[in-house]
Amino acid sequence: MKPEAIVFDMYGTVANLDAVNNACVELVEDPTQFGSLWRLKQLEYTFLLSMMGDYRDFWQVTEAALQFTVDATGAQLTQGQQSSLMESWLRPEPFEDAVGCLKKLRGRYPLAILSNGGPRMLREGLKHAGLNSFFDEVLSVDEVKAFKPSPEVYDLAQQRLRVSKEKVFFVSSNSFDVVGSKKYGFHTCWIRRAVSPLDPLGQPPDHIVRNFEELARLVG
C-alpha cells in the first residue's frame, strides 16, 4: 500500500514520557508504581468519559488521574509539587529514532499528529521536543470532544487531510490505538516499544515494527 498521508500518535510514539517519569522519581517514594497508576487512570478516564458521552480536556483528565493516584498511594505532595508533576507533561522528549525517520519522511508524505492531548499540551510539547516543524497538521481530540479509540477521532484525520481512510498509514505504540484505528479502516503500524502483547481484540495491525528505523524502511 502506497500511503497518501502518515499519521502518528504523540505520547509514547514520537515523544517519550521521561520527563514525567523523572518528575515522579524526584517526588514520590515508589515512582514506578506511582507513574504506572497515574498513566493507567489517565487512559481509564478517557474510556469512561467516552462511554458516558462526556468530555473533559486531556489536561483535566490528567489532573483527575493524578489526584486519584495521590489519594490511592498516600503520597504526601504539596499543591506545588502536584503542579510540578502536571507541568512535566509539557516537556516531552522525542525518541531519537523518531527524529531520524521524520527527517526522511518530511516532504515525501503529508505528516500529522493525532492525539488525545489538548491543544496547549500538543503545542507546547511539540515545541519543547523540537518536533513541530515536521508535521503538516497537529490534530487534537478536543476538536471532536471524544477520545481515542472513538471513530470520530480517526474521522477527524481523514477529513482534515482529505485522504480516504484506506490511504492513511497510522502509526502508534499504544495497543488500544492500533486496534481502534484498524477497526476504523486505517492501514496500521504498531511500534512495539514495550514487551506487552497486543490487545487481543479486533484485527491485528497491518505491520509490527520495533522502532522508527524499521518504519522508515517500510514506507521509504
Q: What is the pLDDT of residues 22-42, one digit of tens each?
A: 999 999 999 999 999 999 999
High-pLDDT (> 90) share of the chain, %: 93
Residue 220 has pLDDT above 80, yes or no: no
Would residue 9 show up in a list of annotated catalytic residues for this protein? yes
**Tens digit of pLDDT for each residue in 70-91?**
999 999 999 999 999 999 999 9
Cβ atoms of residues 212 and 104 within 8 Å: no
Domains within the chain, CATH numbers bracketed: 5-16+92-219 (3.40.50.1000), 18-90 (1.10.150.240)
pLDDT at position 138: 98
Task: Extract the C-alpha cell encoding 43.
Answer: 487512559
H or E segment to which residue 68 belongs: helix 58-73
What is the mean predicted confidence (pLDDT) over 8-31? 95
The single residue of 9, 97, 142, 177 carrying the catalytic annotation is 9
pLDDT at 196 over 90: no
